[in-house]
Amino acid sequence: MSYVHWRLYLVGMLSFLLAHPVCAQYEFNAWRFGSNAGLLFPATPASGPPQPDGSSFFAIEGCASIADSAGNLLLYTNAEQVYSRSGVQLSGGQLGSGGSNAVQGAILLKHPGPAHQYLLFKVDEAQNLFVGGLRYTSIEMASNGLAGRLVFPLPHLLTPAGYLVTEAMTAIRHANGADYWVIVHGYLNREFLSYHITEAGPEPVPVRSVVGSYHGFTNPGCPMRGSPDGHQLAIGLPGGA
C-alpha cells in the first residue's frame, strides 16, 4: 500500500476514533473516508468484521461521518461539502474552502438540543495559513434521515478574529452526559481552547488552558484524542506525544 493510501486510511481511522468516546450506541459505526472508501461496523464484535461500504466520496484528510442511533449512515463530509446517506449534497449553503487537507479538519456531532439536528465543526489547514480558524454550522435532517439542509449558509467563526488554530481538533462528552467539549489548539503558542457545546449550541467564550508543548511551524497537524472517561487528552507530536 502506498504512503498516500496509508495516510488516507489512517486519517479515516482518526476521524472515527477521535469522536467515538463522546457517544454511546452506534453513531460512529459508519465511516466515509479517503478515495471512494467506507466501512460499516457491526453492532457488536461478535457479529463479524467491518464490511466495505464504498461510495463516490473523496476526502484527502479532513473527513467525518455520523450515523443514527442504530448505526445507519446519516451524514458525511470532507470539510468542504456535506452529503446525505444517499450521496446527495445538502442544500442551504457551502462550508467554504479549507479543512479538507487538515488532519482533523471536521467533526460531526449530534446536537444536544433540537431533535434531528447535528453540528459540524471544521478547522483550517496549514496550506491556508490557518486563517479560517474554528468554525461551525448546524445541520437539520428530515425525520427519516434521507435529506437535510444547512441551517445557516456559511459556518460561523468561533475562535476570536485573527486567532489561528492548528489542524488538531477533538470532541469529548461533557461530565453531565449530554453536552460536549470541542477542543482545538492555538498556532504559535501552547494554548488549548475548549468550547462547551450545550443544547443552545456552542458557547462563544472558550476555556483556555496553557500547558504542554509549543505548536508552531514544525508541528501544525498533530492529532488529538480524549480518553473515554474525558479526564485526559493526548496529542501526537513529532518524535513523541
How far, in Å, CA of 9 to CA of 66, rounded?
17
Average pLDDT of the chain is 84
Residue 112 lies in a domain: yes
Residue 181 lies in a domain: yes
241 belongs to a structural domain: no
Residue 240 is assigned to a structural domain of this protein = no
Percentage of residues in the chain with pLDDT exceeding 90?
44
User: What's the structural domain count of the chain?
Assistant: 1
pLDDT score at 146: 77
Reduce the DSSP state of residue 91 to 3 states and report it.
Answer: strand
Instruction: Answer whether 224's CB lies under 8 Å from 234's CB.
Output: yes
Residue 110 lies in a domain: yes
Q: Is the pLDDT of residue 71 over 90?
A: no
Structural domain span for residue 131: 3-235
Task: Report if residue 58 sits inside a domain.
Answer: yes
C-alpha cell at 6: 496509508
What is the gyration radius of the CA atoms in the chain, in angstroms? 17
In this predicted structure, the answer to whether residue 228 has a pLDDT above a threshold of 60 is yes
What Cα–Cα distance (Å) separates residue 198 from each residue in 18, 51, 129, 135, 192?
19, 34, 30, 16, 19
Assigned domain for 229 exists = yes
Reduce the DSSP state of residue 9 to 3 states and report it.
helix
Residue-wise pLDDT tens digits, 107-161: 999 999 998 999 999 999 999 999 999 999 999 988 777 788 898 877 899 999 9
Q: Which tens digits make up the pLDDT trace of 93-122?
A: 678 888 888 999 999 999 999 989 999 999
